[in-house]
């Protein structure tokens, strides 16, 4: 059997949209509304934060859609940064993905899953970490077995997520299990809320984490059918659905549980579940969260390793990461790298520590990636299979929101922000010493092959 030389294009619009929704809707919506509501102390301000973050995600998705149409290949943000700013910036992005964001978000979600399994089975802290590591390894194995298998499973899990959240909303209203008085006062902050504007920082951090991951789907462009049309449609549709779902779910939670009783994310979900399902409510919600997180882990371990694959193909990472599995045609080694580092982070950290570790530098690189759209437009013109609606206003709005979020994040957690930036900075000497010359050689070889191919074709 000859090993495959390129990734297989097997994902249609429905599959990629399911991946967007499935990756984004995870443990965040069950954990973050509590801290957001407690900090803001106002249902109206909670709605404003969701709308702003949803608007930010939609404008960003529209920009990523054009970037994906211009560069319909595996790697996503890495490819856009490479062609926009050069190999040094794209290497630092890949370095950040490998050591900070990818394993960080994978570990954070797995720890969230482990805590809910621990709630159901009364596991110790060590038992919860064991569950988290086992979940990472199991999902990595599914993704090694083939993108079609993972995508099909992802569609079923996404349908379950949306159905479960819709069922919660319908039951809450049909049973009259809550009180509309929980929304009064609608605008004014309640007693005990954090003063403005300080209350906005933790609220936006929570909202960003809940929305996190929509930008990763571009990394699957090498496996999407007609990616120039599929990716923009799926990104925009998926992010719009997530925004509506988050606003609806937060409203239902507040309808079921008054702000005065909100303590933590876990108790918030348990209280909402108890209002709907009685004593078994906490267990019902725990089961929904577990399935939701499994779906997100599945999407993450499908999309994220494509960066290491693309880097290795360009000579900016170890060659072995670009090797595809001879039978399944997946970047098995790249998937294994992410699973291994994420498992180590699970054993070393907690949910909140890991989230704070990667969030600032991630926002910074997402902003840089959208900025690459201006560079590519100036260099290549506006001709593309898909063009961002409202350009240049759309990317400008996104970048202004990113700037405001970075200021809030730096002020809220300066040490963690500096740590993430510092780890990325360590990649600069690694690039100069180990990979810069290799990348130039690989690029020269590729250019020579292209020239020979063109010459033979013209003859």
Q: Which domain holds residue 344?
A: 13-445
Separation CA 293–CA 187 (nearest Å): 33
Within 13 A of 365's CA, how many CA atoms are on the CB side? 33
User: Is 459 part of any domain?
Assistant: no
Per-residue exposure over 44-81, b if at least 16 CB sit within 10 Å of its own CB, e if not: ebbbebbebbbebbbbbbbbbbbbbbbbbbbbbbbbbb
Over 38-94, what HEC string results? HHHCCHHHHHHHHHHHHHHHHHHHHHHHHHHHHCCCCCCHHHHHHHHHCHHHHHHHH
Q: C-alpha dihedral over 294, 295, 298, 303, to 10 degrees?
A: -140
| Residue 291: inside a domain | yes
CA distance 37 to 48: 12
Give the pLDDT of residue 333.
86
How large is the average pLDDT for residues 294-322?
Answer: 80
On whether residue 453 sits in a domain, the answer given is: no
The pLDDT tens digits for 238-274 are 888 999 999 998 899 889 888 877 776 666 777 788 8
Count of Cβ atoms closer than 10 Å to residue 292 Cβ: 27
Alpha carbons 112 and 345: distance in angstroms, whole number: 13
**Closest C-alpha among 370, 84, 382, 67 to residue 231:** 67
The pLDDT > 70 percentage for the chain reads 89
Q: Is position 450 within any domain?
A: no
Lowest mean pLDDT among 307-311, 356-360, 389-393: 356-360
Classify 11 as helix, strand or coil.
strand
Could you write out the three-class secondary structure of 303-366?
Answer: HCCHHHHHHHHCCCCCHHHHCCCCCCCCCHHHHHHHHHHHHHHHHHCCHHHHHHHHHHHHHHHH
Q: Do residues 3 and 327 make contact, with C-beta atoms less than 8 angstroms apart?
A: no
Question: 351 pLDDT band (50/70/90 cuts)?
Answer: low
pLDDT of residue 392: 94
Query: What's the total number of domains in the chain?
Result: 1
Question: Does residue 186 form part of some domain?
Answer: yes
Burial group, residue 191, by CB count within 10 angstroms (0-12, 13-18, 19+): exposed
Is residue 315 in a domain? yes
Residue 160 maps to which CATH number? 1.20.1740.10
Q: Give me the half-sphere count of Cα atoms (radius 13 Å) on the Cβ side of residue 95.
A: 22
Asked whether residue 7 is assigned to any structural domain, the reply reads no
Does 253 map to a domain? yes
């Amino acid at each position: 059997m000859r090993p495959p030389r390129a990734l297989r294009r097997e994902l249609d619009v429905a599959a990629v949209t399911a991946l967007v929704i499935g990756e984004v809707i995870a443990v965040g919506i069950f954990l973050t509304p509590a801290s957001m509501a407690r900090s803001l102390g106002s249902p109206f301000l909670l709605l404003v934060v969701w709308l702003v973050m949803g608007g930010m995600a939609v404008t960003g998705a529209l920009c990523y859609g054009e970037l994906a149409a211009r560069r319909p290949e595996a790697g996503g943000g890495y490819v856009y940064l490479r062609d926009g700013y050069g190999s040094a910036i794209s290497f630092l992005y890949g370095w950040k993905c490998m050591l900070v964001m990818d394993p960080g978000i994978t570990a954070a979600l797995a720890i969230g899953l482990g805590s809910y399994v621990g709630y159901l089975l009364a596991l110790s802290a060590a038992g919860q970490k064991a569950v988290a590591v086992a979940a990472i390894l199991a999902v990595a194995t599914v993704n090694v077995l083939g993108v079609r298998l993972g995508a099909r499973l992802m569609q079923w899990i996404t349908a379950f997520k949306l159905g479960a959240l819709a069922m919660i909303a319908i039951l809450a209203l049909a049973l009259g299990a809550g009180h509309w008085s929980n929304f009064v006062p609608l605008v004014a902050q309640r007693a005990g809320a954090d003063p403005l504007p300080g209350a906005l920082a933790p609220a936006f951090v929570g909202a960003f984490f809940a929305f996190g991951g929509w930008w990763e789907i571009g990394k699957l462009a090498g496996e999407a059918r007609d990616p120039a049309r599929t990716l923009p449609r799926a990104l925009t549709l998926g992010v719009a659905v997530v925004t509506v779902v988050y606003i609806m779910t937060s409203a239902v939670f507040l309808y079921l549980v008054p702000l005065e009783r909100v303590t933590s994310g876990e108790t918030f979900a348990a209280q909402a579940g108890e209002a709907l399902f009685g004593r078994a409510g906490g267990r019902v919600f725990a089961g929904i969260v577990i399935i939701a997180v499994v779906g997100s882990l599945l999407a993450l371990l499908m999309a994220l390793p494509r960066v290491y694959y693309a880097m290795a193909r360009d000579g900016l990472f170890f060659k072995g990461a670009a090797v595809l599995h001879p039978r399944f045609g997946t970047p098995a080694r790249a998937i294994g790298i992410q699973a291994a580092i994420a498992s180590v982070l699970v054993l070393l950290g907690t949910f909140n520590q890991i989230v704070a570790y990667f969030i600032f530098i991630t926002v910074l690189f997402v902003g840089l990636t959208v900025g690459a759209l201006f560079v590519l437009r100036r260099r290549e013109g506006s001709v593309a299979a898909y063009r961002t609606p409202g350009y240049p206003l759309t990317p400008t709005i996104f970048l202004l929101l990113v700037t405001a979020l970075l200021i809030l994040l730096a002020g809220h957690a300066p040490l963690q922000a500096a740590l993430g930036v510092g780890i990325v900075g360590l990649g600069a000497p690694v690039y100069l010493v180990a990979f810069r010359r290799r990348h130039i050689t690989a690029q020269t070889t590729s250019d020579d092959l292209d020239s020979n191919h063109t010459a033979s074709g013209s003859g």
